[in-house]
A and B are shown apart, each in its own frame.
Chain A
Amino acid sequence: MADTAGPSVPPILPLYVLYCEVCTFPPEYCEFGSSVSKCKSWLAEEHPELYDKYWSDEALVKKIGTLSLENQKKLDDDSAKKEAKAEAKASLAEKKRKESKITIKRVERNKRKHVTSVQGLEAFGVDLKKASKLFAQKFATGSSVSKNLQGLEEIVVQGDVTEEIVDMIIDQVGVLKGVPEKNVVRVEEKKKKGGDDE
């Protein structure tokens, strides 16, 4: 390996680089991210001295450096476009998230025995493993995360605990925080396929 450049003072201490909380890049790279204006306002609020360093007029002039003005304009346009795109994507994802449903299904195993399967919790940022652990603890039954026929992950809880799970979501217990009760759909699956929504 070639030598590292620069003088190396004996105790080399790690350098702590500040990262933008909006786009996670070091602030000097925010301009290449997809949320420039948000990053800018964050930086102006949290670290005004850095904001001056990166976004003041003279810094902008310096930044253009070897690039021609035309290119610079193109770059700016690009970043604006990128930002708009990212925003549209985010809002679409948000909308989708709001619409996505949590299905709580009661499935008959044999005559009097049932299992309850819960689908769609992951869309609300719930860790399925943790949630299944919570159910197992709460109901003192077996509970596992498994893939269903469609290849989607679901939580399967032994026993009919539909009501209790709905109550837990309403009460926002533990990891279920942030799951809207409005999106819960209850389905009962018998031998013949059928269901009643609530």
Chain B
Amino acid sequence: MFKKFSPKEDIASQTSIKSSVQRHIRASLLKQFPLLAQGEGEAQVLEHIWPKKENITLVKCKEHISIFALHGEPLFFQHFDGPFFPTLRLLHKYPNMCPQVGIDRGAIKFLLAGASMMCPGLTSAGGMLPPPEHSIPEGAVVAIMAEGKEHAAGVGLMKMDSEQVKKVNKGVAVESITYLGDDLWSLKNIS
């Protein structure tokens, strides 16, 4: 999604959003990422990322991508009305906010070039998929971890059920949305 993205051309507008809309976004973020809802009041995780008093900016980009930024730092983004994706930097801070899948060493190179992750990369010895009781449904936002690394290498979208991935073992399993070194990664600050 962010393989080619230049802030100068692809950003259409930047607006601060109404507080009622912000409330709505907060609610859906909490719903989507249960981890963010942990802790009470001031100690809530979301409060850390995005304090209630702060106004978040909506950055509208081409192809219906909207990025939510706080003080210019992108936090979440969204395609149409799809699920929210955390940016990779945010995911590094809270590695457990999404379910995780792992890819083997051979696939890292391709992930960092922007390719989608194929089933064999997840099912091989170096890959990692959650056990059946924690299976990840299709369309879920996942953190893509890599073999032998402690931090996430990308954020992805499941194209199949994680159980199905094990069964079929062919074709695209996870679509990579943003990854280390793409243009969203280079975009540290939206000015």
Contact = CB atoms under 8 A, between A and B. Distances in A.
A14 B94 contact: yes
Interface string B1-44: 00000000000000000000000000000001111001100010
Given A28-B150, A75-B109, A3 B134 contact: yes
Contacts of A42: none
Contacts of A21: none
Given A2-B136, A16-B93, A32-B108, A10 B39 contact: yes
Q: Chain A at the B interface: mostly helix, strand, loop or mixed?
A: loop
A17 B143 CA distance: 16
Interface stretch (A64-72, A104-112, A135-143): A64-72
Interface stretch (B51-59, B96-104, B170-178): B96-104
Given A1-B33, A5-B130, A17 B93 contact: yes
B89 to A, nearest CB: 8
Interface residues of B, number: 45
Most buried by B among A2, A13, A28: A2
Contacts, number: 99
A152 B32 CA distance: 44
Given A1-B99, A75-B109, A78-B109, A12 B35 contact: yes
Contacts of A33: 181
A26 B38 contact: no
Contacts of A66: 104-105, 124-126, 147
A15 B109 contact: no
Q: Chain B at the A interface: mostly helix, strand, loop or mixed?
A: loop
A26 B150 CA distance: 10
B151 interface: yes
B118 interface: no
B100 A63 contact: no
A138 to B, nearest CB: 23
Interface string A63-101: 101110001000100100000000000000000000000
22 contacts: A1-B32, A2-B99, A3-B99, A4-B35, A8-B96, A10-B39, A12-B94, A12-B96, A16-B93, A17-B89, A24-B186, A26-B149, A29-B149, A32-B180, A62-B148, A65-B147, A66-B104, A66-B105, A66-B124, A66-B125, A66-B147, A78-B109
Given A14-B93, A17-B89, A67-B106, 5 more contacts: A11-B39, A32-B181, A66-B104, A66-B105, A66-B147
* A-B CB proximity, top 10 nearest: A14-B93, A17-B92, A4-B96, A66-B126, A2-B99, A26-B151, A66-B125, A28-B149, A32-B112, A2-B136
Interface of B: 32-35, 38-39, 43, 45, 48-49, 89, 92-100, 104-106, 108-109, 112, 124-126, 130, 134-137, 140, 147-151, 153, 180-181, 185-186
